Amino acid sequence: MIDNTIKYSYTNTKIEIALKLNTLTIKNYSEGINKKDLPFVFEQYYKADNNKKQEGYGLGLSIVKTIMDICDFEIDIKSKINKYTTVIISF
Ligand SMILES: Nc1ncnc2c1ncn2[C@@H]1O[C@H](COP(=O)(O)OP(=O)(O)OP(=O)(O)O)[C@@H](O)[C@H]1O
Ligand SMILES: [Mg+2]
């Protein structure tokens, strides 16, 4: 997840990581993920259309999701195009 936040961030932007009670939030400022792609980013080998030029196999988030499922944690991703992406994990 941290790899994604760095890889997909606009240059010279910050990454925000917050842990509050049972919620971990990781936010970066980037092109974001289109609404049509959002439901699929946790699938193996899925890369959003606007990010296909970036290196990677589309595996990171599917591995994270598998671990979250094993731990019975919830993971959600929200994005606003050309603004930000936020990954939220609830323990
Ligand atoms: N923080 C983010 N900002 C913008 N897009 C993101 C972000 N995190 C994930 N994505 C989008 O979700 C897709 C899936 O992410 P995932 O980590 O599974 O694959 P990847 O980063 O392309 O490759 P890999 O993790 O295997 O190196 C990415 O290709 C990208 O389009
Ligand atoms: Mg990745």
Residue 78 pLDDT: 97
Name the pTM for this structure: 0.94
Q: Cα(23)–Cα(75) distance, rounded to whole angstroms?
A: 10
Ligand 1 neighbour 29 (Cβ under 6 A): no
Q: Distance, CA 55 to ligand 1 centroid (Å)?
A: 9
Q: Which CATH architecture has domain 2-90?
A: 2-Layer Sandwich (3.30)
Residue 91 pLDDT: 94
Structure confidence at residue 80 as a pLDDT band (50, 70, 90): very high
Domain layout of the chain by residue ranges: 2-90
Nearest-atom number in ligand 1 for the CA of 26 is: 1
List all residues 6 or more positions away from 11 whose beta carbon is below 8 Å from its beta carbon.
Answer: none
| CA angle (66, 70, 74) in 5-degree steps | 75
Q: Distance, CA 5 to ligand 2 centroid (Å)?
A: 8
First to last CA, the chain: 16
Q: What is the mean pLDDT of residues 52-78?
A: 95
Query: What is the residue whose two structure tokens read 């993971």?
Result: 75
**Please, which residues bridge with residue 17 across strands?**
26
SS3 88: strand
Please check the confidence at residue 74 and state whether its pLDDT lies above 90.
yes
